[in-house]
Chain A
Amino acid sequence: MALVVDKSQRWRVLAAHLFLIVLCAVVVFPFLVVLSVSFRPGNFATGSLIPSEISFEHWRYAFGLPYQAANGQLVEPELPVLRWLWNSIKVATVSGLITLLLSTTAAYALARMKFRGRNQVLTGLMLMQMFPAVLALVAIFAIFDRIGAAFPAFGIDSHWALILAYSGGIAMHVWTIKGYYETIPYEMEEAAKVDGASPWQAFRWVLLPMALPILAVVFLLSFIGAVIEYPVASILLNTQDHLTLAVGTKLFVHEHNFRWGDFAATAILSGLPITAVFVLAQKWLISGLTAGGTKG
């Protein structure tokens, strides 16, 4: 770009590097502290960033293994971290699949068919996505409380209730998938229809296989969304064994029960896989979303 290099250029580069390095340090600092705390004995933030003494007690705790405390006592971990992880994965997988099931066909109709009220449906979905579930918490609680009286499997403190509550958030995903369908040439299905395929067959055997990348992205998005969701899970679940990670980890850093070390190990154990998925899928996510966005 700039072929003529100014004298002040060198200083500017230096200043920019300095600024960026400081900012990177600020960004990385919390994670380094947590890593260090997780290997430090005890639950207090004493000592330097590089622990003088390595201890695996917090990691043993996170994995649910008994460990020897400083006073020689054998401690059994009382918070079931792995159980929470499993609960989160279970709820997120099922609700991701349901979301996918509900939004793929709806997006097909919106992308390929002409019918009255199409624009209204699209606007409606757009508006719905703007209202966060936090505002309807009382209603969600009241509904599942009552439903639980008739069907205990879908009441308060059940994972099915949570899965159902999450499955309603399909609005954004319908838009995304619709945008992707529109990038696939319509001629492909038309050719299939000429050969005698019904709309369903054209959708199932021609369009759907080509839309696999976006389906993977949408599944991933709703999976991550369900894992990190806190408000709805916090009112629908209350038994310790039923909690998801997002609700459970909060118990570690309570004002009166500050278990910094155990939290640190738990946070790394549970945050690392999600972060890895996010960073790895990032390229896909962005390209998928922008592909969906161009015509949306």
Chain B
Amino acid sequence: MQVTSSSRRWLVPALAAVGALAVLYLVTLVYAVGQTLLAGTLLVIAALALWAYTSKKTVALRYLFPGVAAAIVFVIFPMVYTIAIGFTNYSSRNLLEYERVQQILQEETFRAPGPAYKFSLHPDAHQFRIRLEDQEDDKRVFISSALALRQPASLTVDVLPEAEAKVVIGDALPLKEVIAQQKDIKALTLRFADGKQVRMTSLREFAPAQPLYKPGADGSLTNVDTGEVLKPNFKSGFFENAAGEHKEPGFRVGVGFDHYRRIFTDKRFQEPFARIFIWTVVFSALTVLFAASLGMLLAVLLNWEGLKGRAVYRLVLFLPYAVPGFISILIFKGLFNANLGEINLILNALFGIKPAWFADPFLAKTMILIVNTWLGFPYMMVVCMGLIKSIPSDLYEASAVAGAGPITNFVSITAPLIIKPLTPLLISSFAFNFNNFVLIALLTGGRPDFLDISVPAGTTDILVSYTFRMAFQDSGQQFGLASAISTVIFLLVAAITLVQMRFTRLAQDDNGKR
């Protein structure tokens, strides 16, 4: 023990110093990729760690730290970041930071006068070499130094005449490979010994190239070829010419409350948002209502001692809860298929009808409610069974003496006694279904779409799936707008949560009094 404690005296500071250096390196790297906010968060956490594990007063924090740090990085940070993105124009058109866009535009080149070279790509161990051959004089052959393609940024590489390069290169790669690497080859600049530079101008050719834009002191870019001046517009997030025409790609700028204004006042967004919001509420409320009623009914039945085989029923009825959701939802997607699904086969055989479950908005919504009730009732059943067990049985004995039937029992004893402890669970189930993205995404994907609205939005979309489509699917990756809607949902869920906590407290207070 003595030895370890004396060796610990220097071991701990040494480890702390090494750790601190490693974290500083990490933070610098994260900052370098443009994640200023994340770098700052990491720095704060690192400082916290250093304090927690070196100070003598922080025993509790040492144990708490790993969990709290993970929660900050992976839960709170994404939440804050989502809110921040909601105030920017981040989208597929405005994907990059200003500096990066500036860099990309400055890398644009145009064909300058001078001889062109045929090129071929040759493998060299795990790297590549490029061979250039003068188009007019096929004796003038140059070979580049070995280069690893897949560089994140542009790269300048020296080329030497074949005689001086003194390397034997393998066979040229077929055009298919060249096409596959096209993006990386395009980023290359090859430099001759005399300082002349060539860049890829077509799939078979390198030619002298000159930067297209000359940067000005005020951040503007002048087109060398046409003389047009482009100025960055920090309102729209684009480089624009005097006529106000955009030059792609755009960059990210803050847009303030624009997205919120669009959601709540712009007709094109307001209308689908309102409809989707209403459906989200209806969907969650009806799901909770159906699942809870069915669950409660079953719980009452399965607690009835006169009924035999209750254990078997309980096991079978619990199945929908035990099977992973992504499987059972997809099973239903198959079963409800209008032409090939089993449900329509049966309906067709019995009644001669083939409902279009996925094409008709009303039927699609009905289907979603059926499936979600099927998925949700076992949980309610188990919960209600637990609650009913806790009701003292002398209440029922008394009512039996008074000659009450099962319906009277249910209405005047069971229901009133379990509804209060059940309420917080119903609210949290409502909040869960409010964000039940998996069900909608796997079952209908939000379709069928509204036909009378220009924004892609579906009649079965709930708010989260609408947001998801906006961010990752058909309408051009509008990350900013999607984040703004996410923030609105954040606030709604927070409100629901507050209500729930109030109810939980009420229920607890009540239990305490009893």
Contacts and interface: CB of A to CB of B under 8 A. Distances in A.
A247 to B, nearest CB: 8
Interface residues of A, number: 95
Contact of B64 (A30, A110, A275, A279): A110
Interface in A236-267: 245-246, 249-250, 252-253, 255, 258, 260, 263-264, 267
Given A235-B472, A250-B330, A147 B35 contact: yes
A142 B81 contact: yes
Nearest to B34: A146
Interface of A: 1-2, 4, 9, 12-13, 16-17, 19-20, 23-24, 26-28, 30-31, 33-34, 37, 44-45, 101-103, 105-110, 113-115, 118, 121, 124-125, 127-128, 130-143, 146-147, 149-151, 164-165, 167-171, 174, 199, 203, 224, 227-228, 230-231, 234-235, 245-246, 249-250, 252-253, 255, 258, 260, 263-264, 267, 270-271, 274-275, 278-279, 282
B421 interface: no
Given A135-B464, A227-B324, 14 more contacts: A4-B400, A19-B301, A37-B334, A45-B345, A135-B79, A135-B493, A138-B85, A139-B483, A142-B81, A142-B479, A231-B441, A267-B327, A271-B327, A275-B324
Contacts of B332: 30
Interface in B396-411: 396-397, 400, 406
B305 interface: yes
A228 B66 contact: no
Nearest to B358: A255
A245 B442 CA distance: 13
B325 interface: yes
Q: Among B306, B320, B337, which residue has the most Cβ atoms of chain A within 10 A?
A: B306
Interface stretch (B12-20, B168-176, B236-244, B431-439): B431-439
B63 A113 contact: yes
Nearest to B484: A138
Interface residue tally of chain B, by bracket? 35 or more
Contacts of A270: 327
Nearest to B82: A139
Interface in B53-97: 59-68, 70-71, 73-79, 81-82, 85, 90
B357 interface: no
Contact of A274 (B324, B345, B428): B324
A199 B497 CA distance: 36
B206 to A, nearest CB: 27
Contacts of A278: 322
B78 A24 contact: no
B167 interface: no
Contact of A31 (B319, B406, B486, B489): B319
B340 A106 contact: no
A218 to B, nearest CB: 12
A168 B489 contact: no
B78 A139 contact: yes
B374 to A, nearest CB: 7
Interface stretch (B25-33, B133-141, B182-190, B277-285): B25-33
A189 to B, nearest CB: 13
B397 A1 contact: yes
Contacts of B307: 13, 16-17
B61 A115 contact: yes
A255 B38 CA distance: 40
Interface of B: 29-30, 32-35, 38, 59-68, 70-71, 73-79, 81-82, 85, 90, 152, 298, 301, 304-307, 309, 313, 316-320, 322-328, 330-335, 337, 340-342, 345, 358, 374, 393, 396-397, 400, 406, 428, 431-432, 435, 437-438, 441-442, 464, 467-468, 471-472, 479, 482-483, 486, 489-490, 493-494, 497
B interface, by DSSP: helix, strand, loop or mixed? helix
A9 B298 CA distance: 18
A108 B406 CA distance: 48
Given A135-B464, A136-B82, A138-B482, A170 B70 contact: yes
B317 A27 contact: yes
Contacts of B333: 253
28 contacts: A1-B396, A16-B301, A17-B307, A20-B313, A24-B317, A30-B331, A31-B319, A34-B331, A102-B70, A103-B67, A106-B65, A106-B67, A128-B75, A130-B494, A130-B497, A132-B437, A136-B486, A139-B483, A141-B471, A142-B479, A143-B35, A169-B74, A234-B441, A250-B442, A253-B334, A258-B337, A263-B330, A282-B318
A143 B438 CA distance: 22
A282 B322 CA distance: 9
A51 to B, nearest CB: 13
Contact of B68 (A34, A121, A132, A258): A121
Contacts of B317: 20, 23-24, 27
B471 A109 contact: no
A170 B71 contact: yes
Given A24-B313, A143-B78, A143-B81, A230 B59 contact: no
A16 to B, nearest CB: 5
A138 B82 contact: yes
Contacts of A245: 326
Nearest to A244: B326
A38 to B, nearest CB: 11
A4 B402 CA distance: 12
B330 A252 contact: yes
Contact of A168 (B29, B73, B467): B73
List the 3 closest A-B pairs by CB distance, nearest first: A168-B74, A106-B67, A109-B63
A169 B431 CA distance: 17
Contacts of A255: 358
Contacts of A137: 467-468, 471-472, 486
A227 B438 CA distance: 13
A199 B59 CA distance: 9
A228 B327 CA distance: 9
Contacts of B73: 168
A283 to B, nearest CB: 12
A27 B320 contact: yes
Contacts of B428: 130
Contact of A228 (B324, B471, B472): B324
A1 B400 contact: yes
A167 B325 contact: no
A171 B323 CA distance: 24
B390 to A, nearest CB: 12
A260 B340 CA distance: 9
Contacts of A167: 70, 74
A24 B378 CA distance: 12
A34 B332 CA distance: 10
Contact of B316 (A28, A109, A143): A28
Contact of A9 (B63, B79, B306): B306
Contact of A263 (B79, B334, B435, B471): B334
Contact of B435 (A26, A132, A279): A132
